[in-house]
A and B are shown apart, each in its own frame.
Chain A
């Protein structure tokens, strides 16, 4: 091969790189490991982390994933393909994306879905920017305090340099947003309405949607896709429905995985489709009249529009969407509804048992979906550590995010939590709250 190129050695291939720039040995890169030794090292790291019984949700939910989902998703033909630029050689990915878009459009009750975004938080930032483009007249967006605090940080970080004004709407003592707080604002491009909200609380979405439309603002629904098997879809909210729906897709067949990769989804009314960021797949026909699928409306995108694109996004989260599509196909509407109803039932059971413990109470009386805030009479950090020692990840400490709520914790029990696990949680928490030692004292369970 070198002879064909006309050089004598590999080094000659780099003769256009100025010599003084050439790198020396990469001292901080370890020496190569054979697969067997790598496997030992990685398995050791995984073992060190152990397995805990998890009661945190807060945007990432542990659900049962049918065995077939990742068996199929990791087939090389899905796993090692790329963005379907050559449509004729990518009909598998393209049709799957079209099916995904169809499922999401139906779940959200909106006409159009894109082929996914990076994750729920960055998806919300993109939805805020899209709604501002669609509204045309204002750069102000109302962002309730009942939206995930990290999502709000992400929206700020991404939208900050584009002249977007984010106005925070407070939550009331029920842990929800009052439509009257919203109605007093003017010159607003969009209002974000979370359902369920970060506290797990169910907002009065009809009133909020109508109030937002009443002040001439668009509505961005921030929703959990599993809840949509049960709850009113954004397209049905209020008199006219939400204009955009966005959210974290992880609950649809994606494992917790320490935080990623997940995927964000975004749907909208048909009239706003040209403001949508990200890939969109359309159905069309080939020269023989046979149905087929292709990327469409690409004139919105960076590789065509460059500095005038709707976003700099070029990929979607194809592999995760592959898993989600297969997951939804296996569960169907009835299966997904069972998941949703079981999540509600389990979290309800958990909060009933926990709030019966002295020193623990529910923070908000309003109905919730599958998460719930508990208020404690003691600092949360110590409680969490004591629970962790029993192999239980108890919940998310909200003290830092919402100092006004006192010692509060967000808990979640999805359909995978058993009666026994919930009872065990309550038993340990009761003991910790009453400051009794373990019985017997040496019976410290280590995570295994």
Chain B
């Protein structure tokens, strides 16, 4: 039932708004609204019960194993939330003078330092509000760099065919044409195709390493040489940083610019789809173009870098300084994990993925790249299962929900047919992982014995399979009493 359907005229939670109407004598009547907006009229208990019950209709990390590949659904430590929500942090206005926020700004400055070190870059700006905005900032900096050298021929961004959809979408938003580079049969970038594609039109290459195929790009040094040799720059999509944090740094691999997804590697909450935070790091040649504001320090005093400090900056990407509360959570996480802990993230994320892959392989499940070492994630392909039983990867995903596990990412990357991208993360126990493997193997077995049960899954969730065609054709995106305006 919707909250609106519980509504009764004039019912309200009286204590939560001012006790009476304020005087609006100063506002002319022709600017006032005539109809009342259709907001719920419910008691506090009704609202609390309704949203508590809604929350219980979700799978989440706190309640379920959530091995969603490329999303790094690891545990979000409670301390990060609690201490980022101290009243002084929550109460501070973003435009209040820097004298009123030195403690907060010190946290941000130190986070910049930590991320600079972790990525092997020369400077970091925390301002991008999400990974995709970090990508935008990164490619906009590549463009600003070429423009600053009057190198105007460079109109193409190269993107491997395995890339996240955000990469080509970002390149378009920055005014570039996208050129796809194929992947070879081992999951590496096809070097011959890359050599053929680069040239005076190449602005840069966007690369995720480890790639979305769950393998480390072994020819990264050569790729960097090829792209740089042609005058292009190398962009690192930090989606999979969790696999290599503390082990190898993008800056050392030859990347010029990187964005990080702090909601992945630095364990800030995914929040049902946001907020994220997508800081960008750059090497020396892109430093002048970093988005503002970021924190500058001198003698223990902190202030914001502005247009005056950074005349070549690509500018501002948000009204304030980025998702401050998310950044605080990431900073607290970094304090708790510490220097030695960073590499242990990669150690255990990689161990868990390789263990899962080894067990599934031993049980006869097909891997997309069986000859490769898994990184923090790996790809199962169910092409054979589909041919033999008619059961698809989506069917298996839905059946996993019945077994109490969130499904891995399905049908991504687009290169692998009937695939699961599985990312267990470092925070899961062996027991949990074994339980998932057992469930998956049971479903494979069930697909042969009783395919209909799998094909019609899920059976135990609050709703069963939804009619997505109807959702798009008979668009109903807002509850209303009367006809749409």
Contact = CB atoms under 8 A, between A and B. Distances in A.
A313 B332 CA distance: 27
Interface stretch (B194-202, B381-389, B443-451, B475-483): B475-483
Given A26-B118, A283-B476, A316 B39 contact: no
B60 A86 contact: no
B88 A49 contact: yes
Contact of A56 (B12, B18, B96, B318): B96
Contact of A5 (B129, B173, B249, B354): B354
B129 A77 contact: no
Contacts of A54: 91, 93, 96
A98 interface: yes
A64 B171 CA distance: 41
B318 A17 contact: no
A70 B22 CA distance: 26
Contacts of A2: 351
Interface string B288-326: 000100000000000000000000001111111111111
A345 B216 contact: no
Contact of B103 (A48, A287, A337): A48
A18 interface: yes
B107 interface: yes
Contacts of A355: none
Contacts of A311: 169, 173
Given A14-B350, A95-B57, A318-B272, A161 B89 contact: no
B27 A77 contact: no
B267 to A, nearest CB: 10
Given A49-B101, A78-B58, A313-B132, A60 B27 contact: no
Interface in B15-63: 16-24, 26-28, 30-34, 36-42, 44, 47-48, 50-52, 54-63
A263 B317 CA distance: 14
B74 to A, nearest CB: 10
Given A106-B39, A257-B90, A81 B272 contact: yes
Contacts of B22: 338, 340-346, 415
Interface in B160-179: 164-166, 168-175, 178
Nearest to B270: A82
Instruction: Output the residue of A5, A68, A311 with the most chain B CB within 10 A.
Output: A5
A393 B48 contact: no
Contacts of A90: 57-59, 272
Interface in A142-157: 148, 150-151, 153-154, 156-157
B230 interface: no
Given A80-B76, A158-B317, A260-B322, A284 B100 contact: no
B226 interface: no
Nearest to B253: A21
B94 interface: yes
Interface in B92-113: 92-97, 99-104, 106-107, 110, 113
B372 interface: yes
Instruction: Output the residue of B3, B60, B171, B253 with the most chain A CB within 10 A.
Output: B60
A248 interface: yes
A148 B484 CA distance: 31
Contacts, number: 671
A328 B39 contact: yes
Given A109-B485, A119-B129, A256-B93, A294 B338 contact: no
A258 B316 contact: no
Given A54-B96, A102-B479, A260-B129, A86 B397 contact: yes
Contact of B478 (A113, A285, A322): A113
A60 B95 contact: yes
Interface stretch (A186-194, A211-219, A232-240, A429-437): A232-240
Nearest to B209: A17
Given A35-B336, A162-B175, A232-B33, A296 B472 contact: yes
B412 interface: yes
Interface residues of A, number: 202
Interface stretch (A36-44, A133-141, A165-173, A420-428): A36-44
- Chain B, interface residues (CB within 8 Å), range: 35 or more
Nearest to B458: A88
Contact of B272 (A93, A270, A285, A384): A93
Nearest to B221: A18
A122 B129 contact: yes
A217 B172 CA distance: 25
B478 A101 contact: yes
B233 interface: no
A363 to B, nearest CB: 16
B316 A157 contact: yes
A390 B113 CA distance: 34
A353 interface: no
B192 interface: no
Interface string B412-436: 1000000000000000001000000
Contacts of B244: 17
B27 A367 contact: yes
B439 to A, nearest CB: 14
Contact of A315 (B95, B274, B479, B485): B274
Nearest to A312: B169
Contacts of A316: 273-274
Given A83-B273, A297-B472, A388-B97, A60 B58 contact: no
Contacts of B174: 161
A333 to B, nearest CB: 4
Given A77-B56, A303-B165, A232 B2 contact: no
A10 interface: yes
Contact of B319 (A88, A111, A121): A121
B338 A30 contact: yes
A98 B216 CA distance: 40
Interface string A13-51: 111111001110111111111010011011111111111
24 contacts: A1-B430, A16-B218, A26-B339, A32-B341, A39-B79, A39-B83, A80-B269, A82-B66, A88-B466, A98-B478, A105-B478, A109-B485, A158-B136, A158-B317, A259-B318, A261-B324, A293-B466, A314-B130, A329-B40, A333-B41, A337-B36, A342-B22, A344-B22, A367-B26
Given A49-B92, A257-B324, A367-B31, 16 more contacts: A4-B355, A31-B339, A49-B88, A80-B76, A86-B407, A92-B57, A202-B28, A230-B24, A236-B34, A260-B323, A283-B479, A287-B467, A297-B475, A306-B169, A315-B132, A333-B36
For the complex of A and B, list the 7 residue pairs with the smallest distance between their C-beta atoms, beginning with the closest. Answer: A32-B338, A259-B320, A76-B62, A319-B271, A259-B94, A157-B315, A45-B103
